[in-house]
Amino acid sequence: MNAPALPLWAEALIAALVLLGAGIALLGSLGLLRLKTYFERVHAPSIIATMGCWSIMHGTLLYFSLQGHGLAVHALMIALFVSITVPVTNIFLMRAALFRARRAGKDVPPSLSRTVAADERDS
Amino acid sequence: MNGPILSWALPAALFLLGVAMACCLVRMIKGPSAQDRVLALDCMYLNGMLLMLVLGIYYGSSNYFEASLLIALLGFASSTAMAKFLLRGEVIE
C-alpha cells in the first residue's frame, strides 16, 4: 500500500500507544509466570484484555483513520468483543478452578449455592 | 513505508509481545494444574491477537484485522469449551 506519510505527532502518539499496550501485555504475562498460586495468577492476564487491548486498539484506530479514507472504527469492534467475552471466560475458569479445588479437598471457601443434592449429602 | 518513529517502535512492540507469548508458553508447559494451562492458553491467544493488530499497523494493511477478529472469536469459544470441560467433565451435556 502506498500510504501517505503521517505527521510526526501522529507517529509519536501511535508509537506511544502501541508500546504501552505491548508493555502491558508483557506485564500481564510476567505476572502469569511469576505469581505463586492459581487464584493469584488468574488476575494477571485481565490487564491485557482491558488496558493492553484498548491502547493497541486506539493506536490501530488512529493509524487507519489518518490514512485519509475517513474514520476507521473497525478496530473498536475487536476491543468491544474482547471486553464482553474475557469476563465470561474468566468467570468460567474461576468456577472450574474452585470446583476442582473443592473436589481435591483444598482450603477454599465453601459453595454458597445450596442445591438439593448438597443438602441430601450433608444430612 | 512507515516514518522514523514507527519504523523502530513497531518492531520493539512486536518483540515485547513475542516475549509475552514466550512467558505464557512457559506457564503452559510447566503449569502444575490443568486450569493453569487453560489460563495460559487464554492469555496467549490475547497476546497473539494484539500481535496481529500490531502487524496490521506494521504492514499498513487492514487484512490483519480479520485474522485478529478470528483469533478473538475462536479463542473465546475454545477457552469457554475447555473451562466447561474442567467444570463438568464434558463439553456438551
| Res. B51: pLDDT tops 90 | yes
String of DSSP letters for A31-96: HHHH-SSHHHHTTTTHHIIIIIHHHHHHHHHHHHHTTSSS---HHHHHHHHHHHHHHHHHHHHHHH
Task: Give the model confidence (pLDDT) of A68-93 as tens digits.
Answer: 777 878 888 888 999 899 999 999 89
Distance from CA of B58 to the nearest CA of A (A): 10
Q: How far is the C-alpha of B73 from the C-alpha of A109, rounded, in Å?
A: 33
Domain enclosing residue A87, as ranges:
8-107
Tell me, yes or no, whether A85 lies in a domain: yes
With beta carbons under 8 A apart, name residues in chain A contacting B36: 38, 41
Tell me, yes or no, whether B8 lies in a domain. no
Structural domains of chain A, count: 1
Candidates B1, B5, B78, partner chain A, best to mutate (most A CBs within 10 A): B5
- Residue A14 within any structural domain of the chain: yes
Q: Quote the ipTM score.
A: 0.87
Instruction: For residue B43, give its domain range.
Output: 33-85
Please tell me the pTM assigned to this model.
0.86
Whether residue B14 is contained in a domain is answered as: no
Say which residues have a Cβ less than 8 Å from residue B14's Cβ, sequence separation at least 6: A22, B51, B54, B55, B58
Tell me the average pLDDT of chain A.
Answer: 84
Kindly state the percentage of chain A with pLDDT values over 90: 33
Cell of B61: 494493511
